[in-house]
Amino acid sequence: MEKCMHEIISPNDAMDFKLDFSVDSGSVVNKHYHDWLEIVYLLKGTLEVEENNERCLLKENDFVVLDPMCIHSTRCREGNTAILLQIPMAWLEKFMPDIHCLMFRVEEEKVYETGDPQIYEAYGRLRDGIKELGVVYLQAEEGYIFQCYSLIFSIMHLLVRYFSRKISRQDRMKSEKNLERIRRIMEYIRSHYREELPLSRIAGEIGLNPAYFSRFFREQMGIPYLEYVNRIRLEHIYTDLLYTDLPVGELQERHGFYNYKLFMRMFRQVYGCTPGKVRGGKKS
């Protein structure tokens, strides 16, 4: 389900953030962005995460911190259970107005490489805090919302104090400019993906030289433009396989994917199975 979109997130009732347990039997959540700080903690299974074209594989008790407005995607091949925490930047800015100038990075290997016991201790406290937050939320005992807020403030303190760095104003402005351009590109593709979409057409719509557009797109998204368009088509075909009984060939035509061999190869690559297996799994 490869798309880059501005995801709309809603907080939990009576909370300023979104906190949830995610039980995933297998999915692809493709490139998207939002103005929320996101933390995913794996309790069971595995999860492939790509953030700004850097990939990592999360296993049990691993976690990842995703910066607001970063382009990211996830793939769950064999199922997992995770704690999902998403905190809106607008809320965090009430307590730290310049927090948008920070970039967060938490990598276990680099924590060990520092040789700094203070950072190692902070990493352990951060991991324990996220896991405790999940337990408190799941048990939902009387007054648990207060404890959730307490733990989130502790998590944010550790992130800001030990696992952040300042972004220069110039770099931030460049990033915002690139993201706005990507947003325009993605909106156009989502509106016209059923049609023929040669690179020259969309480059003209955005006002860029085709050669420059091709380089820019690949640098920002990590894949070539035409592959991206085909992945959007795949997403819609996958959804229709689950929720309609239309033949696969008709779904290909409906969503603009006319090359059958390429379709089958990409479908297996992205979803790890054939279209028939997806539909068969739905019926079972």
Give pLDDT tens digits for 225-279: 999 899 899 989 988 998 899 999 999 999 999 999 999 999 998 888 899 988 8
- Cβ atoms within 10 A of the Cβ of 222, count? 17
Q: Is the pLDDT of residue 204 over 90?
A: yes
What's the confidence (pLDDT) of residue 3?
Answer: 40
Pairing of strands 5-6, 27-33: parallel
Q: Is the pLDDT of residue 284 over 80?
A: no
Nearest Cα residue to 271 out of 45, 22, 26:
26
77 contacts 26 by C-beta, under 8 angstroms? yes
Pairing of strands 164-166, 54-58: unpaired
Give pLDDT tens digits for 51-73: 887 889 999 999 999 999 888 88
Q: What CA–CA distance (Å, rounded) separates 227 from 33?
A: 19
User: What pTM did the predictor assign?
Assistant: 0.80
Give pLDDT tens digits for 178-199: 888 988 998 899 899 999 999 9
Give pLDDT tens digits for 36-51: 999 999 999 999 998 8
The amino acid present at 246, given as its one-letter code, is L
Q: Could you tell me if residue 140 is left (phi over 0), alpha (psi between -120 and 50 degrees) or otherwise beta?
A: left
Q: DSSP per residue over 135-151, as a string?
A: HHHHH--TTHHHHHHHH
